[in-house]
Chain A
Amino acid sequence: DGGITQSPKYLFRKEGQNVTLSCEQNLNHDAMYWYRQDPGQGLRLIYYSQIVNDFQKGDIAEGYSVSREKKESFPLTVTSAQKNPTAFYLCASSAKEGFDGELFFGEGSRLTVL
């Protein structure tokens, strides 16, 4: 079955550590996205990528980094520079950007800083 796989589902981090969240899709989608979800704040865009080897900052990119070396993979690194990283992280992809394009989501990764 086609879809988006995020791992790990739960992750605990000590302060000062970098962690990487994995996102893999087998939908052959060009565009991939990372969102952060906090209670009562909806979804906020961290980074997005429209094609391989290219990505752009979203609304809250500070303290995060990404890479897009393969079409199917878009890992997110939460660095120690991110001051409040405890959140639910969602990866998504779409077949075409913008108009009429449905976003497909993974099941999310919950990061907790100890």
Chain B
Amino acid sequence: GDSVTQMEGPVTLSEEAFLTINCTYTATGYPSLFWYVQYPGEGLQLLLKATKADDKGSNKGFEATYRKETTSFHLEKGSVQVSDSAVYFCALSTSGTYKYIFGTGTRLKVLA
């Protein structure tokens, strides 16, 4: 079945450091790929998405490129801030289904 695997956390970085959170997927169809962010005590918010191969999603300085050849959708940011501290979830959704498959989440902590 479809699945999403993302790197385990926690990830601890200093402010202005470069961030990469790895995400790979397995899907039988042609999925859309998403990154969601969850701040403490809140629900999830969409951070960015990509709907087809080679698409790049971007928002708030974060980027991720849909790589079909490596089945990956790694999240990157060039310079993290303390306010980026949160849990990040990679997810996929396949055309024609109700299902959204989530990874287990990666906690990011950014130190001043």
The residues of A with any CB-CB pair to B shorter than 8 Å are 4, 6, 31, 33, 40-43, 45, 48, 50, 56, 90, 92, 97-108
Contacts and interface: CB of A to CB of B under 8 A. Distances in A.
Nearest to A110: B41
A102 B43 contact: no
A8 B87 CA distance: 23
Contacts of B100: 33, 45, 103
15 contacts: A4-B43, A40-B104, A42-B104, A45-B100, A98-B97, A98-B98, A99-B51, A100-B32, A100-B49, A100-B95, A103-B46, A105-B43, A105-B44, A106-B43, A108-B42
Interface residues of B, number: 27
A31 B32 CA distance: 17
B45 A100 contact: no
Nearest to A103: B100
Interface of B: 30-32, 34, 36, 41-46, 49, 51, 89, 91, 93-100, 102-105
Given A41-B104, A42-B103, A108 B32 contact: no
Given A42-B104, A103-B34, A107-B41, 8 more contacts: A41-B104, A43-B102, A97-B96, A98-B93, A98-B94, A99-B96, A105-B45, A106-B43
B95 A98 contact: yes
Contacts of B41: 107-108
